[in-house]
Amino acid sequence: MTMPHAGGGPRAVPAPLEGVGASVAIASGKGGVGKSTVSVNLALALAQQGAAVGLLDADIYGPSLPTLLGINRRPDVVGEKLMPLTAHGLQVMSLGFLMPDGAPVIWRGAMVSGAIQQFLQDVAWGRLDYLLIDLPPGTGDAQLTLAQVIPLAGALIVMTPQDLAMHIASKAVAMFRQLRVPILGVIENMSGFVCPHCGTTAPVFRTGGGRVASQRLGVPFLGEVPLDPTVCQTSDRGVPIVSAHPDSPAAAAFRSVAGALAVRVREEAAAAPAIRLG
């Protein structure tokens, strides 16, 4: 669709979240690429480097942070603000904390947009260096709402090595560019299988798809994370691999990507004009 937004002119500059340094969208063009697992482990890796980190689960239809972080309780309300839950040193909020266990979310787009606005503006996030926002896959209401409600430091695109994944990731990149959100880079997840017995890595899908995508799309390549069965096992237990097995190849890969992400956030902040239209 090529219909311009209402009014035809530039949109109003969104107000930043009080106390939050950099808000980073973590996105993918399609589901099944491990985006939520990547979001959690990157948040933990940044926290281990000394940053104050918040993590917002904006995947309204499929919230996964309660499982990935082993949280099974409701947040408190103080005054008119929701208090984020704390897990592994992170400040966390998800619709999964508020819905009955196993209950489906059957909402229209306007309700999804409203929920995301509330999670951004009606949660007492406190002082954060980073707020990572785990978006649903695709290019829909959640992404549009996020770009309109707060100024984003940038977007990180998660993909797997296949050509199809690269083609779909290009749509996510194009969407954020249309929304004037900087692309912080591409991360390739499930880049190769790590044998739990000998430690060698073998490509499952293909090799170097993320690097090729970054070159074709003209965006930085921030790194690759191997396909390690331990990542799945620890995630199911609610203890992400960066915390459970910090010496593993996957944990080292997440720390490397987190470092590259922090550099890109600083670069974009330095390059941004004093006032940038959303």
The CATH number assigned to the domain holding 97 equals 3.40.50.300
pLDDT of residue 40: 96
The pTM of the full predicted model, rounded to 2 decimals, is 0.88
Quote the tokens at residue 144: 């549009």
Give domain status of residue 27, yes or no.
yes
pLDDT, one tens digit per residue, over 47-88 is: 999 999 999 999 888 788 999 999 988 999 998 899 999 999
By DSSP bridging, strand 81-82 and strand 85-87 are unpaired
pLDDT at 240 over 90: yes
Give domain status of residue 99, yes or no.
yes
Which of the four pLDDT bands, split at 50, 70 and 90, describes residue 105? Answer: low
Range of the domain at 148: 20-270
Q: How high does pLDDT run on average in the chain?
A: 85
pLDDT at 273 over 60: yes
pLDDT of residue 203: 74
pLDDT (average), residues 229-249 = 92
Better pLDDT: 91 or 110: 91
Give domain status of residue 55, yes or no.
yes
pLDDT of residue 5: 42
Give domain status of residue 275, yes or no.
no
pLDDT at 158 over 70: yes
Give domain status of residue 4, yes or no.
no
Give domain status of residue 70, yes or no.
yes
pLDDT at 4 over 50: no
pLDDT, one tens digit per residue, over 12-30 is: 567 788 899 999 999 987 7
β-bridge partners, 180:
none
- 63 vs 39, 129, 133, 169, CA distance in Å? 12, 23, 12, 21
Give domain status of residue 12, yes or no.
no
pLDDT, one tens digit per residue, over 106-141 is: 667 688 888 888 889 899 999 999 999 999 887 778
- 57 vs 26, 31, 40, 155, CA distance in Å? 10, 15, 10, 15
Give domain status of residue 204, yes or no.
yes
Which of the four pLDDT bands, split at 50, 70 and 90, describes residue 182? Answer: very high
- Counting the structural domains of the chain, the total is 1
The percent of residues above 90 in pLDDT, for the chain, comes to 49
